[in-house]
Amino acid sequence: MPRSFDMSVDYEGTVEQVRQAFGDEQFWLARLAEVGVGESSLDSLSTTDGAVSVATTLVLPREFLPAVATQFLTGDMRIQRRETWHPVADGTAAGTVDCAIVGAPATMRGTSALSARGDRSRMDLRATVEVRIPLVGGKLETVIGGQLSNLLIEEQRFTTAWLARS
């Protein structure tokens, strides 16, 4: 049964500044290089009608995976992630994210809202993780949800530092 997670992070920048960074190829290349423990790639970045769509792949080496995950993966974990961010409307940018673990019956889907908090902004993410493995799927969903929370914090730290340098 899928598990849902609600998470929030605050940025030291306006909605417009954060949303602009999400459309910058150099931002993504730098973020992928800095956040994470394995190899990563920016597979595509496009803007259509003001919406930004980005696809990335992150490879987590087997030695960094929790023991419960290594029972079901024969090698490294390859995560394909697609994000879409819509133009800012009424001070908010809406987004979606979809992730899949290649070769595993696991997915994550979520919706995001980037909204103003004075001269700062907050991203609220509601994510649903589903691992279709009998008996242990729920445990893996909880592990993935915890890792997702850690990743979101690291991405927030990177984005805040990026905005400070820009």
Q: What is the 3-state secondary structure (H, E, C) of 1-29?
A: CCEEEEEEEEECCCHHHHHHHHCCHHHHH
For residue 123, give the CATH number of its domain.
3.30.530.20
Q: How confident is the model at residue 17 (pLDDT cuts 50, 70, 90)?
A: very high
The whole-angstrom separation of Cα 162 and Cα 166 is 6
Print the domain residue range for 125. 3-164
Average pLDDT over residues 38-44: 93
pTM passes above 0.85:
yes
For residue 145, what are its two tokens? 């949800």
Residue 96 pLDDT greater than 90, yes or no:
yes
Residue 102 pLDDT greater than 80, yes or no:
yes
How many domains is the chain partitioned into structurally? 1
pLDDT in tens, 111-160: 999 999 999 999 999 999 999 988 888 888 888 888 888 889 999 999 99
Does residue 164 sit in helix, strand or coil?
A: helix
